[in-house]
């Protein structure tokens, strides 16, 4: 008969506690990841609504969640690093890149927001979709020039992503995102071209209508 049963019980009790602690951390961190993702998404929506200050506040809250998760990752990397955290970092990156482009007309770097390069690049690819929305909003408001400028930004981001060359293949999921981006850009190009032509025709007709009374008066004279 094994005489060390009490020792085994103690060992298993310790194992049980470790597993329960990890399970609790797992639940808490996943909730933080979901919250960080949600805050970043809301921030993007606020940028579209021209509420940049509110967007910054939400991103500050998302940053707290992200930073806390990164600290926990030092002790529990197997819990933190995975698909859900990567998705949160991508959304966080996208929101920061988008907001900084709108406010400062520059591209914020991954070091500035403390995110891995891979998640930054994937977030950058998603910014193309946000600029399509900006472009369509501008076209609906009759601002074809702004619509064209948004399209130019979309093109610039896409071309720079494709210029990664060998590194392009080292970013999991980037090919799929750039395939989607290519379709988005072409659809936007079609929308912008159509609006520019419509606006050009509208301007021509206005000039034509304005010129007709002058011609009639000139003939009478």
pLDDT digits (tens, 9 = 90+) for 94-105: 999 999 999 999
Show the CA angle centred on residue 90, arms to residues 145 and 136, nearest 5°.
20
Cβ within 8 Å of residue 191, ≥6 positions away: 135, 136, 139, 147
Strands (E), 17-160: none
Instruction: Provide, rounded to the nearest whole percent, the portion of the chain with pLDDT above 70.
Output: 89
Q: What is the rounded distance in angstroms from the CA atom of residue 105 to the CA atom of residue 97?
A: 10
Q: Are residues 29 and 88 in the same domain?
A: yes
Q: Quick one: pLDDT at residue 116?
A: 94
Is 10 domain-assigned?
no
User: Where residue 62 sits, what CATH number does that domain have?
Assistant: 1.20.58.2140
pLDDT of 194 above 70: yes
Please state the domain count of the chain: 2
Q: Any idea what DSSP says for residue 107? A: P
- Higher pLDDT, residue 207 or 92: 92
- For residue 122, is it within any domain? yes
Instruction: With respect to residue 145, please indicate whether it lies within any of the assigned structural domains.
Output: yes
Residues 142 and 164 in one domain: yes
pLDDT grade for 1, boundaries at 50, 70 and 90: low
Residue 40, burial from CB neighbour count under 10 angstroms (0-12, 13-18, 19+): buried
Instruction: Based on the fold, state whether residues 220 and 131 are members of the same structural domain.
Output: yes
Among 83, 107, 131, the domain boundary falls at 107
Asked whether residue 7 is assigned to any structural domain, the reply reads: no
Q: Per-residue pLDDT for 41 more than 70? A: yes
Instruction: Find where tokens 């981006």 sit.
Output: 181
Residue 36 lies in a domain: yes
Name the pLDDT band for 63 (thresholds 50, 70, 90): very high
In a domain, residue 4? The reply is no
Same-domain status, 129 and 211? yes
In a domain, 11, yes or no: no
In terms of residue numbers, what domain contains 168?
116-221
Task: Report whether pLDDT(138) > 80.
Answer: yes
Same domain, 122 and 216: yes
**Torsion angle in degrees (nearest 10) through CA of 10, 16, 19, 25:** -100
Counting beta carbons within 10 angstroms of the beta carbon of residue 100, is it exposed (0 to 12), middle (13 to 18) or buried (19 or more)? Answer: middle
Residues 74 and 138 in one domain: no
| Mean pLDDT (whole number) for 62-87 | 87
């Amino acid at each position: 008969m094994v005489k060390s049963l009490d020792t085994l019980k103690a060992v298993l009790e310790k194992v049980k506690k470790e597993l329960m602690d990890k399970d609790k951390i797992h639940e808490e961190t996943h909730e933080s990841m979901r919250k960080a993702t949600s805050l970043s998404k809301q921030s993007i929506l606020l940028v579209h609504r021209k509420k940049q200050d509110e967007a910054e506040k939400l991103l500050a809250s998302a940053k707290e969640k992200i930073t806390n998760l990164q600290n926990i990752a030092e002790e529990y990397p197997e819990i933190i690093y995975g698909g859900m955290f990567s998705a949160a970092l991508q959304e966080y990156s996208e929101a920061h890149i988008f907001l900084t482009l709108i406010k400062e007309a520059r591209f914020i770097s991954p070091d500035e927001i403390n995110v891995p390069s891979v998640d930054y690049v994937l977030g950058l690819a998603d910014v193309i979709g946000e600029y399509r929305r900006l472009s369509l909003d501008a076209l609906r408001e009759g601002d074809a020039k702004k619509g064209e400028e948004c399209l130019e930004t979309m093109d610039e981001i896409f071309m720079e992503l494709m210029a990664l060359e060998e590194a392009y293949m080292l970013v999991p999921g980037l090919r799929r995102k750039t395939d989607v981006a290519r379709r988005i850009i072409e659809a936007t190009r079609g929308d912008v071209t159509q609006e520019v032509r419509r606006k050009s025709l509208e301007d021509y007709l206005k000039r034509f209508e304005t010129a007709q009374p002058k011609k009639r008066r000139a003939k009478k004279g």
